[in-house]
Structure 1
Amino acid sequence: MKSSYYEHVEGKAEHLVYLDKKGKELEKLLEGSKTAIIRGAAGKKSPLGGRVKIGDILYFVQTGGDLLVTHRTIVTNVTETEKMLEEESIAFVDKHQDKLNLAKHQYERWAGKKFLCIIEVDRLEEIEAFEYLRESNMDDWVITQDINTIKK
């Protein structure tokens, strides 16, 4: 059943987002113990660079899985940091851990990065599963205007 809440809205992006299967991210989102996703960068700029906005739709696929997109949600808040020192980054992750519910290996991956982005979500819903065209794209976050353009 397709919810009208998710109908494409002009100017809003649709994102394909990998969730960490080992960290049980999808399960945590479904049970409500996780309400936000994190991305980070050690380089010179923010990982998503302001390209995720409130109202955007995220479609989820699990790492190490069969490339099936099974759920979607809506972005309710985005917090992107300026460049941080390692201690500031760790404190930032700690501050948001109640929303992120990171497994130990995820915490170690993100805490300490120079730039972080927290994406809060709501209204997670199961969708009719579909495969997507991975091609040579190795990113764990793919931004598109219309998810249908990357469906297999």
Structure 2
Amino acid sequence: MDNVVYLDYKAKELEHLKSGQKTMIIRGAMGRKLPYGRVNKGDVLYFVENKGDGLIKGKAFVESVFNSEKLTKEQSVEMVEKNQDKLFLAPGQKKRFSGKRYLVLITIKDFKTIEPFQIDRSDYVNMDDWLPVENIEKVKINLLTELGI
């Protein structure tokens, strides 16, 4: 399964993935929402920054996934703190995810920068930060085709 993952531009998440400082992606919510239970070892993550250009610039493989059970605020904060060395979260991100009832921790491997491309988001009406696209080739926009070349 291929997934498009939005990264925090201001927190320089893509740069931290490139440098190897960041090796884990986190998502959290008060309920079980994407990607909870929907991402697995071996899946491919394609990374795009939330700065409006819509360009996918990197990819990595999922090495492992942890979907938490319902957490107390304290357990959630502790889990974020315990994994901060891999998550490499900016203070605002730490605040955002600490205290969520459900956390998904995704360890990645083999990150690489790729030739940037865009995807067709028309099938994804919700503006979520995680899109399970199944096969990236089906949503990849071929710019030459778009230009009629």
Scaled by the length of structure 2, what TM-score is found? Answer: 0.89
Give the counterpart letter for 1:99 in structure 2: K
Aligned to 1:40: 28
**1:3 alignment counterpart:** none
Aligned partners of 1:149, 1:38: CA distance in 2, in Å? 26
Tell me by how many angstroms 1:80 deviates.
1.1
Superimposed CA distance per residue, residues 108-151 of structure 1 (whole angstroms, 9 cap, x where no aligned partner)? 10000000000010111121211112233301000022012222
The superposition leaves residues 82-123 of structure 1 with CA deviations (integer Å, 9 ceiling, x where unpaired) of 001101100010111110010001001000000000001011
1:151 to 120, 140, 145: 140
Select between 133-142 and 52-61 the one with higher mean Cα deviation: 133-142
Deviation at 1:29, TM superposition (A): 0.7
CA drift of 1:49 comes to 2.8
Out of 91, 108, 114, the position equivalent to 1:121 is: 108
Structure 1 SS opposite 2:107: strand
Note if contact 2:42-2:61 (Cα within 8 Å) is conserved in structure 1: yes
- For 1:144 and 1:100, the matched residues in 2 are separated by 24
Structure 1 runs not aligned, ≥5 long? 1-12
Aligned-partner Cα distance in 1 for 2:33–2:49:
23
2:137 maps to amino acid: N
1:109 aligns with 2:79: no
Q: Are 1:72 and 2:69 matched, yes or no?
A: no
TM-score (norm 1): 0.87
Any conservation in 2 of the 1:46–1:116 contact (CA below 8 Å)?
Answer: no
Give the alignment of 1:13-92 within 5 angstroms.
Answer: 13-43=1-31, 45=32, 47-92=34-79
Select 2:120's aligned residue among 133, 139, 151: 133
Structure 2 gaps, min length 5: 142-149
CA distance change for structure 1 residues 47 and 114 in 2, over 3 Å: closer, same or farther? farther
Measured in 2, the distance between the counterparts of 1:17 and 1:97 equals 19
Aligned identity (percent) is: 45
